[in-house]
Amino acid sequence: MDAVEKEKVASSVPREASSHDGGCGCGCANHAGADGMPECMPDEELLYDLADLFKVFGDTTRIKILYALMGQQRCVADIAELIGATQSAVSHQLRTLKQARLVKFQRDGKNVIYSLSDDHVHTMIAQGMSHICE
Model pLDDT, residue 3: 46
For the chain, domains (ranges, CATH) are: 3-10+60-133 (1.10.10.10)
Q: What is the SS3 assignment for 107?
A: strand
Query: What's the pLDDT score for residue 40?
Result: 84
The SS3 of residue 61 is helix
List per-block mean pLDDT (blocks of 10 residues) for the chain, which spans 134 residues. Answer: 46 44 55 65 93 95 96 96 97 97 94 95 94 94
pLDDT attached to residue 116: 97
pTM above 0.85, yes or no: no
Give the sign of the dihedral formed by CA 22, CA 25, CA 29, CA 31. Answer: positive
Handedness of CA 123, 124, 127, 129 (dihedral sign): negative
How many Å separate Cα 59 from the centre of its chain? 12
